[in-house]
Structure 1
Amino acid sequence: MSPDFHIPYVLPTALLAIALVFKFPTLLRAWRDPDVRATMILLACATAVLVVITPVNIHRLNVWTGIPNIAAPWAYSFLTAFCATGLTMIMRWREPPSARRHRRMIAIYWIYAGIIAALWGTFLLADVPEPRIYDLDTYYATTLWMREHTLLYLLAHMVSSLIAAYMLWKWFPQVTHRWLKTGVVFLQLGYASGLVFDAAKLIAVGARWTGNNLDWLSTKAAPPFALLEAILVALGFIVPQAAPFLQKWGREQAEYLRLRPLWRTVRVVQPAAATVRIGFWAPLDLRLTQRQQRIHDALRFLAPYFDPDGYHDAYTAALAENSEQRARGIAGAIAIQAATDAYRRKAPHTTSDQPPQIGPSVTDHLEAIGRALYRSRALDRIRSQVTSTGSVTAHA
């Protein structure tokens, strides 16, 4: 490969590193979960491969260690561990826990651990004094032990890709979960990219054995497919786990924000007991639960100050020009604002010993009320209509 030819290593490496960082808190919370641990190992290996094979890092390893081409066994060891973890992850997805599955997974780890040991053994036996940053595989394609070193990692990678692709192909028709199906598609594309990488490398190495030169297949055509495989396979394993979480987080975040104006409106009501302060870094579901509870508690205290007739009049006026859901939100917002004003004045709407509860016509539409509170002009218009209608009725 020409020294001027650079593959964009930074972006995929950064994406994998970010995924690793975001997954780390999950590991701390659920480190006993084998699926979580396996995902972390897979992400770590994929990230490590991309870090090591970056040309500048290959040069640094050569200089720091004083051992030419030491990056090769490092990168290929991480790649081999990546292959083993990928195969066992697919087995975890496809098969329920069993002694047979456990034995097969242990066998895979031992086989690939043996391959890693053989990679280091063949490298130490090989005579590779000339540092090669871009064309190591083809430059030493006919060198004793380095030839075996190269074939070992390529064949191990190819076999794992073929087995993984076959298992996924057989399993795909049975997958019904949307995000899991998406993950399987990413994995199939990723392993297909890996097979293209292997084929290009093997053809280039084989060409050297026959006295020909097809190095461009190894140095220019193959590396982009290696990067693509790392990204797609990592996405394939991350998406089924991360997507449902992100979907739930998005719903909760939207609800949390929609309830904010309503929460601010009812903060005038003093709680019966001091509330526990939860910081910004607390889990979102906990903060959402506290906000919902705070609103429901405030509505309970506002019940004596709530005017059902005022709510009904506002709802009737709003329904004339809005959908039912939006009209419920507008009417609830107006009625709650009026109740908080009455609360400040200590002027309850009823003096009954058993104050009425604010009913489901309000409590079932809290998000709509929160959205309506963002639209002060619409509230003022409906409030004016209700006031003018009430004045006309009273005068009549």
Structure 2
Amino acid sequence: MSPSFHIPYILPTALLALALVLKFPTFLRASRDPDVRATTLLLTWATAVLVVITPVNIERLNVLTGIPNIAAPWAYSFLTAFCATGLTMIMRWREEPSERRRRRMRRVYWIYAGVIAALWLTFLLADVPTARIYDLDTYYAGTPWMREHILLYIAAHMVSSLVAVSMLWKWFPEVADRWLKSGVVFLQLGFASGLVFDAAKLAAISARWSGRDWDVLSTQAAPPFALLQAAFVALGFLVPQAGPFLQKWIRDQRDYRRLAPLWRAVRVLAPAAAQARFGWWAPLDLRLVQRQQRIHDALRVLTPYFDAALHRRARQAAQAVHGSRKAEGIAGAVTIRAAIDAHRSGGPPPAHPHAPHLGPVVSNHIEDIAAALHHPHTVEDVRRRAVTTESANSHA
């Protein structure tokens, strides 16, 4: 690998770091949730691996510590922790909570903790005085203890990838949720990329043992698959959690904006009780609930002022031009605007005998009314025609 290969590290590292930053508030709110903890750890280990293996950071670690090749045990330890966390997360997804599942997960953690301890031990026992940034695995492929150090991390990584691919392959047909199914696909791609990485590394090391130079497999062919694995696996664990959240956020954002005209129309009325004040930093779903509640409170205040005759004429006028689907919303918008004007005049509610019965009808079409208020000219046109019809009937 040459310095020109530094750039590909930036994108997956930045994506993983961004995912970790976005996940951190959830971790603070729900740090006791095992799935949240595991996802945060997975992103942490994956980000740490990519940060450490970036060539410029390998060189910095060598200089700062004064220990040649110290980046190797750090990077391989983070990679091993990443493998363990990935395996246990797949177990969490596939199996219902049970004592058997807990035992299996603890066994995975202990085995990979032992691998990490062995990685540091073999590195401390190895004699690796020459710093190698791009070709450490093949350069020291025949060095006692460092050879074991390299084979250990590759073996641990390969086993975890094989087990993960096998579990995911068996589980895929059983998955019904589309977000979870997408996550499984990303995970399969990720762990399959990891197997390609391992195969390229082992081929290059085996070639060194037999006196051939296949270093290009280790220095140029393998690294892109390591980057792909980190990105795909991170996506695999994030999509099933972020997908439903993003879907709900988009739906809430749409509803929040759709209700804006109706909310602006009724907020001229004094609320029945003191309203809690939420800033734009408050969760969107909380602000949506408050907006919906404010609208319903205002409609209860306006119910005695609803003019059933006006509502009927407005619906008939709207049906003639816009069809029955939009007519109910437009008629409701006309009725609410008239009720607001009557309420603000300060007098008692006029005698509208059917107003109490009209209240639920209007409340059940809030979204249609809000949609109609997005087109105030249409509402005003229907209101004028409804009033004209009333005048014509009264003269007749």
- The answer on whether the counterparts of 1:305 and 1:347 sit within 8 Å (CA) in structure 2 is no
Partner amino acid, structure 2, of 1:40: T
Question: Residues of 2 paired with 1:218 and 1:358: CA distance?
Answer: 75
Question: After TM superposition, where is structure 1 displaced by more than 6 Å over at least 4 residues in a row?
Answer: 352-355
Q: CA offsets per residue over residues 65-115 of structure 1, 9 Å max, x none?
A: 111111111111010000000110111111111111111110100000000
> What does residue 117 of structure 1 align with?
117
Determine if the alignment matches structure 1 residue 52 to structure 2 residue 52: yes
- 1:349 is displaced (CA, Å) by 4.9
Determine if the alignment matches structure 1 residue 378 to structure 2 residue 378: yes
Q: CA offsets per residue over residues 241-290 of structure 1, 9 Å max, x none?
A: 12111111211121111111111100111122221212222222221111
* 3-state SS of 1:321 partner: helix
> What does residue 283 of structure 1 align with?
283
> What does residue 250 of structure 2 align with?
250
Instruction: Name whichever of 66-75 and 375-384 sits farther off.
Output: 375-384
Structure 2 CA distance for partners of 1:5 and 1:178, relative to 1, 3 Å: closer
Partner amino acid, structure 2, of 1:380: E
Question: Residues of 2 paired with 1:324 and 1:31: CA distance?
Answer: 51
- The answer on whether the counterparts of 2:334 and 2:379 sit within 8 Å (CA) in structure 1 is yes
> What does residue 154 of structure 1 align with?
154
* 3-state SS of 1:9 partner: helix
- The answer on whether the counterparts of 1:259 and 1:370 sit within 8 Å (CA) in structure 2 is yes
How many residues are paired up?
Answer: 396
Structure 2 unaligned residues grouped into runs of 5+: none
Instruction: Name whichever of 348-357 and 176-185 sits farther off.
Output: 348-357
Determine if the alignment matches structure 1 residue 208 to structure 2 residue 208: yes
- The answer on whether the counterparts of 1:300 and 1:357 sit within 8 Å (CA) in structure 2 is no
Partner amino acid, structure 1, of 2:78: F
Instruction: Name whichever of 270-279 and 142-151 sits farther off.
Output: 270-279
> What does residue 168 of structure 1 align with?
168
Question: Residues of 2 paired with 1:306 and 1:88: CA distance?
Answer: 60
> What does residue 232 of structure 2 align with?
232
- The answer on whether the counterparts of 2:314 and 2:330 sit within 8 Å (CA) in structure 1 is yes
Question: Residues of 2 paired with 1:294 and 1:378: CA distance?
Answer: 25
> What does residue 186 of structure 1 align with?
186
- The answer on whether the counterparts of 1:190 and 1:229 sit within 8 Å (CA) in structure 2 is yes
Structure 2 CA distance for partners of 1:115 and 1:203, relative to 1, 3 Å: same
- 1:4 is displaced (CA, Å) by 3.1
Determine if the alignment matches structure 1 residue 316 to structure 2 residue 325: no
> What does residue 387 of structure 1 align with?
387
- 1:149 is displaced (CA, Å) by 1.0
> What does residue 346 of structure 1 align with?
346
Partner amino acid, structure 1, of 2:361: S
Question: Residues of 2 paired with 1:354 and 1:170: CA distance?
Answer: 63
- 1:315 is displaced (CA, Å) by 1.5
* 3-state SS of 1:356 partner: helix
Structure 2 CA distance for partners of 1:110 and 1:379, relative to 1, 3 Å: same
Partner amino acid, structure 1, of 2:184: V
Q: CA offsets per residue over residues 172-231 of structure 1, 9 Å max, x none?
A: 111111111111111111111111111111111111111111111111111111111111
Determine if the alignment matches structure 1 residue 6 to structure 2 residue 6: yes
Structure 2 CA distance for partners of 1:328 and 1:212, relative to 1, 3 Å: same
Question: Residues of 1 paired with 2:12 and 2:5: CA distance?
Answer: 17
Q: CA RMSD in A?
A: 1.7
Give the TM-score normalised by structure 1.
0.96
Question: Residues of 1 paired with 2:122 and 2:369: CA distance?
Answer: 70
Structure 2 CA distance for partners of 1:378 and 1:355, relative to 1, 3 Å: closer
